[in-house]
Amino acid sequence: MLRKIIIYLVASIAIFAIAYFSFVYYATYSEGVRSGELIKISSKGVLFKTWEGEISQGISGAQIFKFSVLDKDEKVIEQLKEFQGKYVKVTYVERYRTFPWWGDTNYFITEVQQDQSPFKMK
């Protein structure tokens, strides 16, 4: 009897853990596009190195959008390095949660392209 209870308890915990990690891995909360001046892109971390960045969306950095980039998106990382200090438009997905080896934020950049700044005088 006790053995059966322990088996059910362990199986329930395993099923819950698999369901939770599957949800965190696959589910996204929102998707969108943001633009602004790319002010930072860096690889940081002690145990897990992750790519983190910031976009200034207002005058004098009044509104900062912080984001992460997955290691597998090497093309995006290279483009962000190239566009440092320039006005960019990024496509992102927002996740409910994240893993420590993915990044510090829930926002993950999937595409980046250089854009025209609306603040520049012609």
Write out the chain's pLDDT in tens, 122 residues: 889 999 999 999 999 999 998 988 888 899 999 999 999 999 998 889 999 999 998 766 678 999 999 999 999 999 999 999 899 999 999 998 888 888 899 999 999 999 887 776 55
Q: Give the per-residue pLDDT at 84.
A: 93
Q: Give the per-residue pLDDT at 26.
A: 87
Answer CATH for 28-114 from 2.40.50.140, 2.170.270.10, 4.10.1240.10, 3.40.930.10: 2.40.50.140
- DSSP assignment, residue 59? G
Q: Give the per-residue pLDDT at 99.
A: 86
Domain ranges (residues) in the chain: 28-114
With tokens 């080896």, the residue in question is 101
Plot region of 14 (φ>0 → left; ψ -120 to 50 → alpha; else → beta): alpha
Q: What is the pTM of this model?
A: 0.80
